[in-house]
Structure 1
Amino acid sequence: MLNWDNVFATRATRMRASEIRELLKLLEKPDIISFAGGIPDPALFPDAEFKAAYADIFSGAQVGAALQYSVSEGYKPLREWIAARMRALGIAATADNILITSGSQQALDYLGKLFLSPNDTALVTWPTYLGALQAFNAYEPVYDQLSLNGNRTPAAYREAAENAGGRVKFAYLSADFANPTGETLDRAGRERLLDLTEELDIALIEDAAYQDLRFDGEAIPPILALEIARKGSIENTRTIYSGSFSKTLAPGLRVGWVCAATPVIRKLVLMKQAADLHSSTINQMAIHLVAERGFDAQVAKIRKVYSHRRDRMLEALATYMPAGVTWTMPEGGMFIWVTLPDGVDGAALLARSLETEKVAFVPGKAFFADGSGSNTLRLSFSCANDQMIDEGIERLGRLVAATLAAAA
Structure 2
Amino acid sequence: MSLEQVFASRTSQMKASEIRELLKLLEQPGILSFAGGIPDPNLFPAEAFSEAYARALSPENQAVALQYSVSEGYLPLRRWLVGQMERMGVPCDVDNILITSGSQQALDYLGKLFLNAGDTALVEGPTYMGALGAFRAYEPRFDRLSVNGNRPAQDYADAAQAAGGKVKFAYLTPDFANPTGKTMDLRGRESVLDLTEALDVASIEDAAYQALRYDGDSVPPILALEVARKGDLEACRTIYCGSFSKTLTPGLRVGWVVAAKPVIRQLVLTKQASDLHSPTINQIVVHEVAARMFESHVGTLRQSYGARRDAMLAALEKHMPEGVEWTRPEGGMFVWMTLPKNMDGASLLAEALRSEMVAFVPGSAFFADGAGANTLRLNFSSPTVEQIDEGMLRLGRVLRGALT
Report the TM-score, using the length of structure 1 for normalisation.
0.98
Query: Which residue of structure 2 aligns with residue 309 of structure 1?
Result: 308
Q: What is the match of residue 88 of structure 1? A: 87
Q: 2:378 corresponds to which residue?
A: 379
Are residue 160 (structure 1) and residue 159 (structure 2) matched?
A: yes
Corresponding residue of 1:132:
131
Deviations 1:16-50 (A, max 9, x none): 10111111011111210000000010000000100
SS of the aligned residue for 1:99 comes to: strand
- Cα distance in 2 for partners of 1:87, 1:44 equals 27
User: What CA distance in whole angstroms lies between the structure 1 residues aligned with 2:139 and 2:250?
Assistant: 28
Any residues of structure 2 matched to 1:145-294 within 5 Å, and which? 145-294=144-293
AA in 2 matched with 1:38: G
C-alpha distance in 2 between matches for 1:381 and 1:190: 26
Shift of 1:55: 1.2
Match of 2:57, SS?
helix
DSSP-derived class of the 1:350 partner = helix
Q: Aligned partners of 1:243, 1:398: CA distance in 2, in Å?
A: 39
Cα displacement (A) at 1:281: 0.2
Segments of 5+ residues of structure 1 without an aligned counterpart are: none
- Residue 382 of structure 2 corresponds to residue 392 of structure 1: no
CA distance in 2, matches of 1:122, 1:142: 6
C-alpha separation in 1, matches of 2:281 and 2:395: 44
Q: CA deviation at 1:217?
A: 0.4
* One-letter amino acid of the counterpart of residue 289, structure 1: E
Deviations 1:252-306 (CA, angstroms, capped at 9, x unpaired) = 0000000000000000000000000000000000000000001001100111000
Which residue is 1:12 aligned to?
11
Contact 2:364 / 2:373 at 8 angstroms: preserved in 1?
yes
Q: Structure 2 unaligned runs (5+)? A: none
Worse-superposed segment, 22-31 or 274-283? 22-31
The yes-or-no answer on 1:326 pairing with 2:336 is no
Match of 2:26 in 1: 27
* SS of aligned partner of 1:191: helix
Aligned pairs, number = 404
Shift of 1:151: 1.2
Q: How does 1:20-99 map to 2 (within 5 A)?
A: 20-59=19-58, 61-99=60-98
Question: What's the CA shift string for 1:67-119, capped at 9, x where partnerless?
Answer: 00000000000001011100000001111100000000000000000000000
Shift of 1:6: 1.3
- Aligned-pair identity (%): 64
Corresponding residue number in structure 2 for 1:106: 105
1:387: Cα distance to partner?
Answer: 1.6
Does the aligned pair in 1 maintain the 2:169–2:201 contact within 8 Å? yes
Query: In 2, distance between residues paired with 1:403 and 1:352?
Result: 9
- Work out whether residues 55 and 61 of structure 2, in 8 Å CA contact, stay in contact via their aligned partners in 1: no
- Measure the CA separation in 1 of the matches of 2:127 and 2:66: 38
Equivalent AA in structure 2 for residue 229 of structure 1: A
Cα distance in 2 for partners of 1:16, 1:86 equals 34
1:290-332 per-residue CA deviation (whole Å, 9 max, x = no partner) reads 0000100110011100000000000000111111100000000
Letter in 1 for 2:214: F
- The equivalent of 2:351 in structure 1 is 352
The CA distance in 2 between the partners of 1:329 and 1:30, in whole Å, is 30
Please give the secondary structure, in 2, of the residue aligned with 1:251: coil
Q: Distance in 1 between matches of 2:66 and 2:109?
A: 25
Conserved 8 A contact 2:358-2:395:
yes
Report which stretch shifted further, 57-66 or 180-189.
57-66
Structure 1: how far apart are the matches of 2:99 and 2:392?
39
Q: Report SS of the residue matched to 2:15.
A: coil
Query: How far off its partner does 1:404 sit?
Result: 1.0
Between the aligned partners of 2:279 and 2:69, the Cα distance in structure 1 is 9
- Look up the equivalent residue of 1:147 and give its one-letter code: S
Q: Which residue of 2 aligns with 1:365?
A: 364
Aligned ranges 1:113-124 → 2 under 5 Å: 113-124=112-123
- Measure the CA separation in 2 of the matches of 1:153 and 1:60: 61
Which AA in structure 1 matches 2:318? T
- Deviation at residue 5 of structure 1 after TM alignment: 2.6
> CA deviation digits over 1:130-174, x for unaligned, max 9?
000000000000000000111100111011101110000000000
Cα distance, 1:61 vs structure 2: 2.2
Once residues 295 and 326 of structure 2 are traced to their aligned partners in structure 1, the CA distance between those partners, rounded to angstroms, is 30
Which AA in structure 1 matches 2:166?
R
Letter in 2 for 1:306: Y
